[in-house]
Amino acid sequence: MPYSDQQLGEMVRGDSVHRALYTDPAIFELEMQRIYGRAWVYVGHESQVPRTGDYHTTRLGDQDVLMVRASDGRVHVLYNRCPHKGAKVVADGDGCVGKFFRCPYHAWTFKLDGSHLGVPLKQGLEGTSYDPTDPTFSMRRLPRVESYRGFVFASQARDGQGLAEFLGGVRSSIDNLCDRSPVGEVEVAGGIFRVMQRSNWKVFYENLHDTMHARVTHESSFAAARDEAKEIGEMPFELHIMDGNGEPYEFWEKLELRAYDNGHGYMEGIFNPGAAERDPVSRAHFESLTAAYGAERAREILGMNRHNTVIYGSGSPHTVFQQFRVIRPIAVDRTLIEIQTFRCKGAPEGVFKRAMLYANVINSPSSNVMPDDIELYNRCQEGNATRGGEWVSMHRYHGTDRRDADGMVSVNGTSELPMRNQFRAWKNYMEAGPVAPAHGQGEGACC
């Protein structure tokens, strides 16, 4: 063991963290066990597996898992491993296996809940300890799976908080995302962008609520948007969202930062009831929600002016433009970001088009904005690998964080409260020691 629990705890101070948290592969390995071995982690959305046999593969920490729809409509989350030779049963991606899984190596078969179905030439196993009812011969389900409004999460730990309690105050972000549909449901649509970043996974979470970087890091993109707007004499939506990063410091100082246990949080602007009537797309959206919920509630839903939300260990849902940036740690210096965009079922098509436009302009591999961030994440990765200093600072407004009935709140929108809160969770996970391995077949189903 390269680090004792105490040494791990000492690497997180109230106002700074040790650079090894970003650069040491031994710490990354411990994070996979102690954070990703415990936390609820977003696997995917139910709409990605609409029919029996549909599957979606992903990574839960360093584990290859898949989500699959069974014939009874339930969604199972399984480790992607055949119990015979250990081969991944399905290739990475999305697809449909039909009524059962069949390993492409020796044709062992499994029901859609992972349980053992059969092997060819079964007589060759007679008289051995092969037992089709023993989970050793099944695809293993994860210990726990739960869905919150269609968002499927899994945990590799048998015990712990339920999903709703784990999410705490950021449940309201998922609620608002779904409530923007007149039927209260969203679905993944329009494909998924994937971006591999040459940096540690934690930097991305920190940056989501890092309001001090916007007008510095993104100067080239918001300045280009302003130049273009001047030239064409208007500021269309795609330039407007690039321009936003250029707001003066006073704007960022007024934002409210909320922080919750387990590292979660969100960033919110002043409630904006005018959002409902601002432009033709918003007006049509408002009308469709008014028909479903009444004007007052529709105004409340569209007026919620929430920017990035952090679900620590999973990623970042964005309520206003209906997306989920899923953050998958790959190695100590590699992180895969998957950008899922959602359609609000029953809402006018313009709402989805706007969400796609936002994803393209801000988060796609060809975005003019995201590369600004990626460049800086990589500079942090490489700079922290030098011997030029041992600690990473999170001092801004340290000592002023307030706790109220709803969690913690910043005194200023430029506070580094969110980072301090994320590392408070990190420390809790890491000091808690190893996770006992879950034996036998897991519960692993929801919906």
Q: Which residues form the interface with Fe ion (CB under 5 A)?
A: 373
Q: Residue 363 CA to chain centroid, in angstroms?
A: 14
**Least gap, CB of 205 to Fe ion (angstroms):** 13
**Least gap, CB of 208 to Fe ion (angstroms):** 9
By beta-carbon proximity to Fe ion, the closer residue of 373 and 401 is: 373
By beta-carbon proximity to Fe ion, the closer residue of 46 and 373 is: 373
By beta-carbon proximity to Fe ion, the closer residue of 113 and 372 is: 372
By beta-carbon proximity to Fe ion, the closer residue of 39 and 257 is: 257
By beta-carbon proximity to Fe ion, the closer residue of 220 and 400 is: 220
By beta-carbon proximity to Fe ion, the closer residue of 150 and 418 is: 418
* CA dist., res. 274 & res. 224, Å (int): 28
Q: Which residue is nearest to Fe ion (CB)?
A: 373
* CA dist., res. 316 & res. 50, Å (int): 23
**Least gap, CB of 372 to Fe ion (angstroms):** 6
Between the alpha carbon of residue 439 and those of residues 64, 161, 185, 304, the distances in Å are: 18, 19, 36, 44
Burial 311-320 (b: 16+ CB within 10 A, else e): bbbbbbbbbb
Phi/psi for 390 (5° steps) reads: -105, -20
**Least gap, CB of 391 to Fe ion (angstroms):** 23
**Least gap, CB of 361 to Fe ion (angstroms):** 13
**Least gap, CB of 15 to Fe ion (angstroms):** 23
By beta-carbon proximity to Fe ion, the closer residue of 54 and 373 is: 373
> How big is the CA angle at 29 (ends 103 and 26), to the nearest 5 degrees?
145
